[in-house]
Structure 1
Amino acid sequence: MKTRNLILNSALDFFNKKGFEHASTYDIAKSIEISQGNLTYHFPTKRDLVNVLAKQMIAEIDTTILEINDDFSLKVFYDNLKFTFTVNLKYSFLYMNYSQIVLNDEDLNDYFIQNSAGRKKLLKKMLIALERNDYIEKNSIIKLNDHVADVINLIAIYWVPEAEIYHRKNTDQEKINHHLSLIFLLFKPYLTQKGEENLKEFFNY
C-alpha cells in the first residue's frame, strides 16, 4: 500500500478513536513506522488530512448513486441510505466534531454545501421515480421534496453523536436502522398500498 494511503488509513483510525483534537500527526506517523517529516511531506497539516478524508467519504457515498429506472423502489432507496449511513459511521469523527471541523473550514463547508445541493436534486429524481412507480401517492412530491431533503440532511449530520450518546449499547446496524426509520416515517402518510407493502420488507411500523 502506498505511503499516502497508509497515512490516511491510520489518520482515520486515530481520529475516530481519539477525536480530531487529540489525535496527533506524531502518533499517526509512528503507527505506520514513518517519520513525521515523511507524513508532512504528503499532508503538511492535520487539517489537510481531514479535508482529504472528508472528500474521500463523499466519494465513497457517491459510488452508490444508481441509475434511477423502472425498478426503483422504497427498498432501493432504503439500501442507498443505509450504505450512506454506514459510510458516515466509518468516518464518525467528522460528525462527532462537525462544528469544529466543517463549519470552521470555509473550503470544506462550501464543499459540503455543494454536495448537499446535488443530493437534493437527486432526491427529487428519486421521489419522482417512487411516484411514477406507484410507491407514493400522486402529487405528494411537492409536500415531500424540501421537507424530506432537510430532514435527511439534519439526521445525516447529527445522527452519529446522537447514537453514541443514547444508543451506545446498540450494534452499529441497530443504530443505523433506528435513524433510518425516522426518515421513512415521513413517507408513511404518502404511501400507496404498494408502498406500504414494500416498506414492510425492511421496517415493521
Structure 2
Amino acid sequence: MRNRERVLNLSLTLFNQQGIAHVSTLQITTELDISPGNLYYHFRNKEDIAKALVQEFDQAICRMRTEFSNQVTTLEDYPPFLLSLMALLAQYRFVLRDLETLVLGEPDLKRNFSHLYNSLKTLNKRMFDHLDHLDALNIEKEDQKFLADNSLMIAIGWVNQLSMVSNEQEHAMILRQGVSRLVALVQPHLNTTA
C-alpha cells in the first residue's frame, strides 16, 4: 500500500476514534513510522487529509446512489440497503460528528461537506421517491419531504452514538438498531394495500 493510502487509512481511524481536533500530523507520521516530509509530500496539513477523506466519502455516497436502483427492487430490499448505508456513515463518522471543527475557517472543507450533504440528501430523496414509485407510501408529497429529512437526521444522529462504544460487536448492534429506527419512522406511512 502506498504512503498516501496509508496516511488516509490511519487518519480515518484516528479521526473516528479521537476526533479531528485531537489528532496531529506528528501523531500520524509517528504511528506510520514515516517522516513528516513524506506526509507533506501528499498532504500540506491535517485539513488536506480531512478534505481527501470527505471527498472519498462523497464518492462512496454517489456510488451508492448509482447502485441503488439495482439493489432495491422491493420493499424488503430496503433494510439491507439501509444497513449498508449506515455502515458507510459509520466508516466516515468523524465527518458527521466533527462538522464544526471541519468547516470553521476552512472554505474548501465547507464546500466539500456541503457537496457531501447534498449527495446524502439526493440519495435519501431517491429512496423515498422509489418507495412512492413502488406505491408503498401513503403520504402527501410535502410530508414525504419532511419524512425524508427526518430520516437523514436520525441516521446521522444514530451513527454519532458509535463514539460512545468501543468494540465492533456493539458497533454492529447500534447500526442494526439505527436501521430499525429508520424503518419504524416510515412504517406508519406504508401503504398496506401495496
Alignment TM class, shorter chain as reference: 0.7 to 0.9
Query: Gaps (5+ residues) in structure 2?
Result: none
Give the structure 2 partner of residue 129 of structure 1.
Answer: 130
Aligned partners of 1:12 and 1:53 also within 8 Å: yes
Instruction: Quote the offset at 1:87 in angstroms.
Output: 1.6
Report the counterpart of residue 46 of structure 1 in structure 2.
46
Aligned-partner Cα distance in 2 for 1:161–1:58: 18
- Supply the distance in 2 between the matched residues of 1:154 and 1:94 (Cα, whole angstroms): 14
Name the SS of the counterpart of 2:44 in structure 1: coil
Q: Does the CA contact (< 8 Å) of 2:155 and 2:182 recur in 1? A: no
* 1:63 and 2:63 matched: yes
Change (3 A) 1:122 1:13: closer
1:73–1:135 CA contact under 8 A, matched in 2: no
Residue 29 of structure 2 corresponds to 29
More deviation, 3-12/52-61: 52-61
- Does residue 107 (structure 1) correspond to residue 111 (structure 2)? The answer is no
Compare 47-56 and 142-151 and name the one that shifted more: 142-151
Shift of 1:69: 6.6
Question: Hey, what does 1:120 align to over in structure 2?
Answer: 121
- The corresponding residue for 1:200 is none
Please name the residue that 1:198 is paired with. none
Q: Which residue of 2 aligns with 1:8?
A: 8
Instruction: For 1:20, give the aligned amino acid.
Output: I
Q: Residue 90 of structure 2 contacts residue 162 of structure 2 at CA under 8 Å; is this kept in 1?
A: no
Q: Deviations over 1:19-49 (max 9, x none)?
A: 2122121121122221011101111111111
Change (3 A) 1:188 1:109: same
Q: Distance in 2 between matches of 1:70 and 1:168?
A: 31
Cα distance in 2 for partners of 1:171, 1:70 equals 26
Aligned residue identity for 1:75: E
Larger Rg: 1
What count of residue pairs does the alignment treat as equivalent? 192
Segment drifting more, 107-116 vs 80-89: 107-116
The change in CA–CA distance for 1:152 and 1:107 in structure 2 (over 3 A counts) is farther
Please tell me whether the aligned partners of residues 162 and 171 of structure 2 are also in contact (alpha carbons under 8 angstroms): no
SS at match of 1:174: helix
> CA contact under 8 A between 2:54 and 2:95: conserved in structure 1?
yes
Deviation at 1:11, TM superposition (A): 1.3
In 1, Cα distance between equivalents of 2:153 and 2:91: 18
Unaligned ranges ≥5, structure 1: 196-205
TM-score, normalization: structure 2? Answer: 0.81
* 2:54/2:112 contact within 8 Å kept: no
Identity of aligned residues (%): 27
Confirm or deny: 8 A CA contact 1:70 1:129 kept in the other structure: no
Distance in 2, Cα, partners of 1:93 & 1:49: 13
Task: Normalising by structure 1, report the TM-score.
Answer: 0.77
Partners in 2 of 1:129 and 1:69 — Cα distance? 12
